[in-house]
Structure 1
Amino acid sequence: MISYLSKGLTRILPASSRLATLVLASVSLSETAMADNRIDILRPDAPELAAPGPHGVGRFTIELTNPDQYDIVSIAADQTPERYDRGLTVEIFYPSEDHNAPTPMRVFLRDGETEADIIGLSADNVAPDKTDAPYPLVIVSHGYPGNRFLMSHLAENLASKGYVVASVDHTDSLYQDQAAFGSTLVNRPLDQMFVLNELERLAKEPGTLLEGLVDTSRTGLIGYSMGGYGAIISAGGGVTDVSIGYEWGAPDGLLGMHKAGSPDHEALLDARLKAIIAIGPWGRNRDFWDADGLSGVRVPALYVAGSVDDISEYETGIRKIFEESTGTERHLLTFVSANHNAAAPMPAPAESYAISGKLGWAPFEHYADAVWDTVRMNNIMQHFATAFLDLHIKQDAAKADYLDLIPNAEDGVYARGDDGTQKPEHTYWAGFPDRSAKGLLFETLKKGD
């Protein structure tokens, strides 16, 4: 089942006033961006591929229903019925015909009560650009809790470069409906693959807004935290017996459907999924996987982490996932000294700065990092996501150069002639301006390593 929603938001950004000096102009733009909760800011030192692509960006909302699913929340509470029709709200970002004035997105913040408008590149319900359609699909999957707009900066950026991006509101994992954790453990990969199937159906159905717009045979999946957990399962990483038996996990052994080597898990895997990006993926630090289960990941993977992540953990969690995914080529991008908020969340809306009476702390902490500037992290993520997905989804071999890097960015030597050509001793990270690749690690392991 499906229905279409229109948000009806029509506020247009105010025109920027002209100022007398460059310094004052910079200050004004910065203040305007903060006041308007801009999520599309591009820093002057952003790496090359962070810049938006040639397309305008449109968006619309769809409501999907996955029938006859286990109602994990009811089962965990010993209630009935045990089956229900599971609804999912999905935001579709897509290449548009024109660069329309952006319209704001109304979002809940971390406390599930406060709302704010955020503004990026996208305009609501504008005509798609079908010149180069159908476009590859990217599914975006948030953390626990989160919502479909948490990574909209990345979704919009990819849509401007010729992707259709489906960002999912995962029921029971949202700021305003956060429920039993077992629902997220079981449903996250099921939601991801259900959305893939539904978008394929809609792309072939006459009269839908997606008709002829998306090519699901070329699909990427981006997940943050529990979204990364789901992406690993969707890509072939099966869970352990230990995790299936946790009393605080999924009830009635239902997580067993994702067990490594089980028929149910094998049936979930889909050849249309060509690559995953897992940002701060959770689970290895709690023994949801082991080396055997992670060896089942069978598509190219880009893992992203903060080196002091205290949620998914770095050495015992994300780094182990990277090392043990031996069934595929994979990369690990590390933001040195960043915590769990590395790269994925949008810049914190101004409304998040106030202490929440419900939470007892400022929701700002949910979006920001104590060391790294969020916009810088977002720009770096946009750069690497573009290179990785273009290489593996669009088969753009030229993007491989952006992933063939000296592991420690600070070991790189920037050496170019006056005409900009590289000297033999140049080893600086491709696409990064001089002195801008700081505090970053990028490691690569081949299949079998």
Structure 2
Amino acid sequence: MRTLLRPCAASLLLLVLAAGALAQPTRIDVVTPLAPDLAAFGPQAVGVRTITAVDRQRPDVLRAKEGEPTPRYDRRFVLEVWYPASLAPGQAPGGTYKTVSRDPSVAVTLRGRAVRDASIVGAGGPFPLVILSHGYPGSRYLLSHLGENLASKGFVVVSIDHADSTYDDQQAFASTLYNRPFDQLFVLDEMARLGAAGSGSFLAGRLDATRTGIVGYSMGGYGLINVIGGGYSETSQTMRGAPPNRLLAARAASNAAYRASIDPRVKAAIAIGPWGMQAGLWDAAGLAGIRTPVLFVAGSVDDISGYARGVRAMFEGAVNADRYLLTFVNANHNAAAPHEAPAETLDATGRAVVGFTQHADPVWDSVRMNNILQHFATAYFDRHLKGDQGRQAYFDVLPKGSEAVYAVDRDGVPQPAHTYWKGFKRGTAVGLILEHLPPGPDGR
């Protein structure tokens, strides 16, 4: 005789099953069937290591007082480094990352493909460098999906825990305003040091920092824009919340020393929802200083960085750079960058708790956006850091994905009417816009 569970027992069982499902680590290496071609992982196994670094005698914004000498301190960094790896016989790919959510009391476990402390691959290289810079607040794992993905394709990727700007040490915003570009440049110098022959690091001779790309999300994008030549406006130096003693003047557009200091090792940049334009950090003169190729990425309804007066205005204003703007139509500030919301940000009934909204978008699926970013980041950095001219075809598309025509025969051969975005499956470019402006008068 079949026994039926009583309603209360059935409900309890469902809750237990749901809790068990939520206890599984959130994967950062998912590539969905709808993903564009270049989102697929590359041929290399992936290793990961955590390293630390110290920038001596950095101006201490948090202790600085108006009209007084700015104190200095040693600014410490925790960095996550992904790289092409050589696994030992029988060593399986995969591992976990232990971190926290937006509520630092909530522990989070992520799972990916990287193997902790694996040997770096001996063949090929030296490999280009990609720097990842998170938002305010965030963590070095926020873009970990991109770190693993690019490492499998022959890049060394380093992601920064920005002091005073992580989930568990968030401090006054002035510190982030001042430190972001300096953090990115310090990490570039540190990785170049470690990659030099004879450094004693596992990266010695395996890393070419003269071919560097930077990916910055939100405040990471803010720092990136300044690193590649977007000098701050005069008004930003005394805006509400700005560091005291006009400290932003060191990297202002009006400062000749700053303009002369733009680092030529940075060959390309991807700015995802970069913050600051809508707050007056840049004007026309500042944006005109950008000459590094840059791919802007944004949601069309971004209510943090702004779209028309924010990211799009930056895209249009960088008149001396070759630049693209990839727009996720109706996405908000979380477009593309953050990995999927951790399982720990849902309760046993599947309802969102603190931290969920740091990752999710009301319209777009996060994993699908991650895959689209992985696709374009691969093409962009292959093009600019490895010199693969064939990757340009992934950008030579009709601007509106909804207007592209998918026309292939049964064997998958494109027909004359085919204008669909290269690498995208039927229907999957809908909701995306990719625009291009060249440097010079035609790019205004």
Partner of 1:274 in structure 2? Answer: 267
Q: Secondary structure at the match of 2:240?
A: coil
Q: Which amino acid aligns with 1:196?
A: L
Q: List per-residue Cα deviations over 1:390-421 (Å, max 9, x = no partner).
A: 11111101100001110100000001122222
CA distance in structure 2 between the partners assigned to 1:33 and 1:273 by the alignment: 40
The answer to whether 1:35 aligns with 2:19 is no
Find the aligned partners of 2:261 and 2:338 in 1 and give their Cα distance: 28
Alignment match of 1:245 (pick from 238, 247, 252): 238
Q: Distance in 2 between matches of 1:96 and 1:76?
A: 47
What are structure 2's unaligned runs of at least 5 residues? 1-16
> Structure 1: which 5+ residue stretches go unaligned?
1-27
Q: 2:60 maps to what in 1?
A: 71
Aligned to 2:44: 55
> 1:245 is aligned with what amino acid?
T
The answer for the alignment partner of 1:199 in structure 2 is 191
Find the structure with the greater CA-based Rg: 2
Q: Distance in 2 between matches of 1:237 and 1:368?
A: 30
CA distance in 2, matches of 1:248, 1:206: 40
The whole-number CA distance in structure 2 between the counterparts of 1:407 and 1:278 is 19
- Between the aligned partners of 2:62 and 2:401, the Cα distance in structure 1 is 45
- Match 2:345 to one of 352, 360, 363: 352
Report the CA distance between 1:436 and its aligned residue.
1.3
Query: Alignment partner for residue 375 of structure 2, among 379, 383, 408?
Result: 383
Query: How far apart are residue 101 of structure 1 and its match?
Result: 2.8
Residue of 414, 417, 432 corresponding to 1:425? 417
Q: Which runs of 4+ in 1 moved over 6 A?
A: 31-34, 77-81
CA distance in 2, matches of 1:350, 1:391: 36
Q: 2:7 matched to which residue of 1?
A: none
Q: Is the 8 A contact 2:22 2:346 kept in 1?
A: no
Q: Deviation digits for residues 278-298 of structure 1, max 9, x if unmatched? A: 000000001100111101111
Give the structure 2 partner of residue 127 of structure 1.
119
2:202 pairs, out of 205, 209, 216, with 209
Please tell me the residue identity of whatever aligns with 2:32.
R
Cα deviation digits, residues 211-254 of structure 1 (max 9, x gap): 11210010000000000001100000001011111131121100
**One of 284, 288, 291 as aligned partner of 1:295:** 288
Distance in structure 1 (CA, Å) of the matches to 2:136 and 2:230: 20
Instruction: Report the AA paired with residue 173 of structure 2.
Output: F
Residues 1:139 and 2:140 are matched in the alignment: no
Q: Any conservation in 2 of the 1:74–1:80 contact (CA below 8 Å)?
A: no
Take 1:182 and 1:409, find their aligned partners in 2: how far apart are those partners?
40
Shift of 1:164: 0.1
Alignment of 1:231-380 (within 5 A): 231-354=224-347, 362-380=354-372
Contact kept, 8 Å, 1:354 with 1:362, in 2: the verdict is no
Q: Cα offset for 1:362?
A: 2.3
Q: Percent of pairs identical after alignment? A: 47
**2:97 aligned partner, one-letter code:** M
Contact 2:46-2:93 at 8 Å conserved across structures: no
Aligned twin of 2:94: 102
What RMSD in Å do the two structures reach over aligned CA positions? Answer: 1.9
The equivalent residue for 1:115 is 107
**Distance of 2:188 and 2:92 partners within structure 1:** 28
Deviation digits for residues 47-79 of structure 1, max 9, x if unmatched?
A: 000000000110101111001110011115999
- What one-letter code is carried by the residue in structure 2 that aligns with 1:239? Y
SS at match of 1:119: strand
Alpha carbons of structure 1 residues 76 and 413: separation in structure 2 relative to 1, 3 Å: farther
2:387 to 381, 384, 395: 395
Check 1:114–1:33 CA distance in 2 against 1; reply closer, same or farther (3 A cut).
Answer: closer
- 1:227 equivalent in structure 2: 220
Q: Please tell me whether residue 176 in structure 1 is matched to residue 168 in structure 2.
A: yes
C-alpha separation in 1, matches of 2:177 and 2:260: 18
Write the mapping of 1:11-30 to structure 2, written as runs, cut at 5 A: none
Question: What does 1:128-167 align with in structure 2 at a 5 Å threshold?
Answer: 128-167=120-159
In the alignment, the residues of structure 1 paired with residue 43 and residue 200 of structure 2 have an alpha-carbon distance, to the nearest angstrom, of 27
1:34 CA displacement: 8.0
The answer to whether the Cα contact below 8 Å between 2:134 and 2:143 also exists between their aligned partners in 1 is yes
**One-letter code aligned to 1:291:** A
Task: Note if contact 1:95-1:163 (Cα within 8 Å) is conserved in structure 2.
Answer: yes
Residue 121 of structure 1 deviates from its aligned partner by: 1.3
Query: Residue deviations 1:333-370, cap 9 Å, x none?
Result: 00001000000000111111249xxxx95210111101
Structure 1 SS opposite 2:166: coil
Determine if contact 1:76/1:180 at 8 Å carries over to the other structure: no
The offset of 1:201, in angstroms, is 1.0
Query: Equivalent residue for 2:71?
Result: 82
CA distance in 2, matches of 1:314, 1:40: 29
Q: Deviations over 1:136-185 (max 9, x none)?
A: 00000000001100000001100000000010000011111111111111
The answer to whether the 8 A contact 2:34-2:425 is kept is yes
TM-score (norm 2): 0.90
Counterpart amino acid of 1:132? G
